[in-house]
Structure 1
Amino acid sequence: MSHERILHHLFYLLYIPKNHKRGKAYPLVLFLHGGGERGTDNQKQLLANDGAVLWASPEVQKKHPAYVLAPQARNTVDGGFALTRNTQNEIDLKNVFQFSPDLQKAYEVLQHVLTSYKIDQKRIYATGLSQGGFGSYQLNITYPRLFAAMISIAGGADPSKAGILAHKPIWAFHAEDDSIIPISYARNTIQAIQNAGGRPIYTEYESKYGYDHASWTPAYETKGLTDWLFAQRLSLR
């Protein structure tokens, strides 16, 4: 991942496909990290898990060359791609469906990248975990014609608005024994999308596996996940 300057008070990293051809449009994957990776070091969003690194790995890039954008949310009371903590930094989910200030900043950074590089407008993807899982849903609900598909891990969406995503290719993951974000958030979201006629893919890990909140570890190792994502294309009609 190559360093990029701070934009709109948000640090971010952008991977540019190696040997990319001038004038050719490439897909872009936006990765939104969780609460533990907030800060200003512009590194935690890469080092803590494979949420961003996966898409920039040599194996994936060889088959699916793509830009990878990984912004870093601020480590403040109102920081994060979803609001999951109170002023005492304790888990508090009453405002989790709000469009957070950092999510707005991430959207603005994404727009900057989309206008600065040759991006395939039919193949822009969003993925995130925990706070970023909620943020991925929120971005897709707010801008339903922007992303071709999304992957959410240990997150959820407002069930009253999730129906907007009925025609969106979605693959969601959650662990049954998640002690930070209750499994009900994923189940209620998926049920709402299904009730609206959607057919999301949903992978739930049973408690016996002991993943707890770290369901992103097996999720990003899921066979066929990268091929599935890059196969999705947005109809611009």
Structure 2
Amino acid sequence: MPYRLYVPENYNPNTSYPLVLFLHGGGERGNDNEKQLMANDGAVIWAAPENQAKHPSFILAPQSRNVPDGGFTITRDVNNIVNLSRVFEVSEDLKMAYEVLQHVRGEYNIDPNRLYSTGVSQGGFGTFNMNMEHPDTFAAMVPIAGGADPAKAHLIKHVPIWAFHAKDDSVIPVSYSRNIIDAIKSNGGEPIYTEYKSKMNYDHASWIPAYENEKMIEWVFQQVKSSN
């Protein structure tokens, strides 16, 4: 699996650093190892000088396969047409992304209590699913324009979550985020949820304002998983 890794400037192997895992959307599938960086700010915003100055951190951005069942969840049928019937499945690419994460953790001094995950669209579903598969790995998650199986909400009720979606999303209906957020709350969780109004005209691209939200970025780095 191709991936890009940002290593903090003046990396000191004797110091442990946080890591942000970014999972891209369906349009960035492939093997060029570029589209996951160029399509939006989901990966690069964390490496911006102003953010690195305050929060030196690694950023990991793997790239999934460009095949019908490729992606960090499965949103297409055999004809490569959008079909949301399998979005709650854990895809093979998501499993591989987790293996890439473990490889990087083995290569560098990364703080196990400051691992963060975020993703958009397919990667938004993937962010939920990876946390459900590995509920004790991440200190916080920021899924955007995604969703998850409400029946599994209890698995991540303890994870700090800030989710985003646009009300007028024409690709992934906003109900996917609403349903999982409501289910997490029903299980005792306290997720943060931001929904952009239709008049703001973000449609599927709710990641644009989400990643411009400086409060969200600061919130992410404030989260530290208990080592207990």
Alignment of 1:154 onto 2:114: no
Q: Name the % identity.
A: 60
- Superposed CA deviations along residues 74-101 of structure 1, whole A, max 9, x for unmatched, are 1012110000111111111111011001
Offset at residue 67 of structure 1 (A): 0.4
Local SS of the residue matching 2:5 = strand
Aligned counterpart, 2:184:
193
The RMSD of aligned alpha carbons is 0.6
Q: Within 5 Å, give how 1:186-225 maps onto structure 2.
A: 186-225=177-216
Local SS of the residue matching 2:124 = helix
Aligned counterpart, 1:6:
none
CA contact under 8 A between 2:13 and 2:108: conserved in structure 1?
A: no
Equivalent AA in structure 2 for residue 98 of structure 1 = E
Alignment of 1:38 onto 2:33: no
Equivalent AA in structure 2 for residue 232 of structure 1 = Q
Offset at residue 223 of structure 1 (A): 2.8
* Structure 2 counterpart of 1:12, from 3, 15, 20: 3
Alignment of 1:142 onto 2:138: no
Local SS of the residue matching 1:160 = helix
Alignment of 1:175 onto 2:166: yes
Offset at residue 22 of structure 1 (A): 2.6
Alignment of 1:61 onto 2:62: no
CA contact under 8 A between 2:69 and 2:75: conserved in structure 1?
A: no
Q: How high is the TM-score relative to the length of structure 2?
A: 0.99
Task: In structure 2, list runs of 5 or more residues that go unmatched.
Answer: none
The separation in 2 between residues aligned to 1:118 and 1:157, in whole angstroms, is: 31
More helix by share: 2
* Structure 1 counterpart of 2:156, from 149, 158, 165: 165
* Structure 2 counterpart of 1:104, from 95, 101, 109: 95
Alignment of 1:232 onto 2:214: no
Task: In structure 1, list runs of 5 or more residues that go unmatched.
Answer: 1-9
Offset at residue 205 of structure 1 (A): 0.5
The separation in 2 between residues aligned to 1:157 and 1:77, in whole angstroms, is: 20
Count of residue pairs brought into register by the alignment: 228
Alignment of 1:86 onto 2:80: no
Runs (4 or more) in structure 1 with deviation over 6 Å come to none
The separation in 2 between residues aligned to 1:225 and 1:71, in whole angstroms, is: 22
Q: Which moved further from structure 2: 161-170 or 134-143?
A: 161-170
- Superposed CA deviations along residues 33-55 of structure 1, whole A, max 9, x for unmatched, are 00000011100000000000001
- Superposed CA deviations along residues 160-181 of structure 1, whole A, max 9, x for unmatched, are 0012111110000000000000
Aligned counterpart, 2:119:
128
Equivalent AA in structure 1 for residue 24 of structure 2 = H
The separation in 2 between residues aligned to 1:22 and 1:83, in whole angstroms, is: 37
Local SS of the residue matching 2:84 = coil
Local SS of the residue matching 1:156 = coil
The separation in 2 between residues aligned to 1:21 and 1:96, in whole angstroms, is: 40
Equivalent AA in structure 2 for residue 80 of structure 1 = G
- Superposed CA deviations along residues 111-170 of structure 1, whole A, max 9, x for unmatched, are 100111100010000000000000000010110000000000000110000121111100
Offset at residue 234 of structure 1 (A): 0.6
